[in-house]
Amino acid sequence: MNGWRSLLNIDPTDWLLEKGNPSSKYLTLTKLFGKDKNNPDVIQAKSEISECAPVKRIFSKQKDDGYWENSNTPYLPKYKSTYWQIMIFSQLGLLKENEKVRKACEFAFRFQHKDGGFTVFKEEGAMKEYSWWKKRQEEKGKPVPPFDNWSKGIIKENELTCLTGNLVASFLRVGYKDDQRIKKAVQWLINVQNSDGGWLCPYWRAHINDKHSCFVGTITSLDALSEIPENQRTDEMKKCIEKGAEFFLMHRLYKADHHNFEVINPYWLNFNFPIFWYDILRGLLVLTKLGYARDERIQGAANILFKKQTEYGQWNLDKTPGGRMHASFGKVGEPNKWVTLNALRVLKRIYQ
C-alpha cells in the first residue's frame, strides 16, 4: 500500500467490492477509484442496484403516480415519504434513467415554489394543518383567519433551505444537471445565503430572529453546489461556496468559534447513513470535494475520523432512522460499507 491507503489499519476495499452490495461496489469503483462509466464492472454493478433487496422494497411501496405515503406532502412522514426516497436513491447510485426514480422526481417537482425553493406541502397538505390549528385556536377563544390567507403564509414558511439543498444535491446526482428547475433552485439557494456565509431557513418562524446560520441548512446548500462541476460554476456560485466553506472552517466543522472552540453538538461526531442531516463526515466529504482538503482547519475533524476506524480498516454506522424507513441500510454499531466508503473518499482527498 502507499499514500492514503498506507494510513489504514487494513485496506477494506476488497470488502467494499464484494458481491451482495452492488451500490457499494458501483460507488467504490466510480467515486473512489474513478472508473469510467463504460467499465464492464461498473456497468454490471450499476445494473444490479435496482434489483438489490433494499431498493426493491422501497420500489414496492411506491404508488402509481410516483409518490410514497401521502400525495399531499412529499415530506411527511419523515423518512418514508417521497423526498426521502429521492435522497436515498441518489446516495445509492441510482439515476433518473430508472423510470421509478424519474417518476418520483417529477412528482417532487410539483412542490417547488416559483422562486425555486421546495416546500413541505402545498394547499392540500396545508388543509390538514389548518384543521388542527383552527381547532386549537377555537378552544382558546382566539380568532381564526380564512384558510386562503393562512395557507399562503404557512406554505411559504415551509419553503426550507435544508430541504431544498438536500433535494438539489439529490436531483443533480440522479441526472438533472441541465434542468431549468434545478438551475432555479440553485439560484434560490444563492439568493438566501446568510450574511455570516451560512444558511438559515429564511421564512421559518423559528429562524426569524436568528443571526447565526444553521449547520444543516449550510451543509445541504454546499452539498448541492458541490455537485455542480467546477468548470460550470459561475463567479456568483464560487463566491457563495467560499463564504459557505469559511463558515464551516471557522468552526473547525464542529466547534463553537466564540466559546473556546467547544464541541457544539456531540451527535455530529456520529456517522450516519443514509445522510439527511449534519455530521462531521458529511462536512469533510463536502469541504474536501470543494477543494479544502489541505486547509489545516479540517484537521481536528479528520483526526476524529481516523480514530473511529476499526482494527479492520472499516467504519461503523453510528446513527440511522432504522425502522422509520422502508428499508434498512445497516445495523447501528456494525461496520457499514457506505460509511466506510465515504470515510475513504475523504482520506484519499486529504492524503493522496
Rounded to an integer, what distance in angstroms lies between the CA atom of residue 100 and that of residue 167? 17
**pLDDT recorded at residue 1:** 46
Report DSSP letters for 2-25, one per residue: -GGGGGSSS--HHHHTSTT-HHHH
The structure's pTM equals 0.95
Name the stretches of the chain with pLDDT < 70: 1-2
In a domain, 27, yes or no: yes
Closest CA to 220 of 165, 283, 180, 179: 165
In a domain, 137, yes or no: no
Give residues with Cβ within 8 angstroms of 336, minimum separation 6: 271, 273, 314, 315, 316, 317, 329, 330
**pLDDT recorded at residue 2:** 64
**pLDDT recorded at residue 203:** 81
Residue 57 lies in domain: 4-65+165-351
**Which residue has cell 416559483?**
114
In a domain, 139, yes or no: no
Rounded to an integer, what distance in angstroms lies between the CA atom of residue 288 and that of residue 20? 29
- Count of the separate structural domains present in the chain: 1
**pLDDT recorded at residue 73:** 95
Residue 318 corresponds to which amino acid? D
Helices (H) and strands (E) in the chain, counts: 15, 0
In a domain, 60, yes or no: yes
In a domain, 133, yes or no: no
In a domain, 89, yes or no: no
Q: How confident is the model over 214-241, as pLDDT tens digits?
A: 999 999 999 999 999 999 999 999 999 9
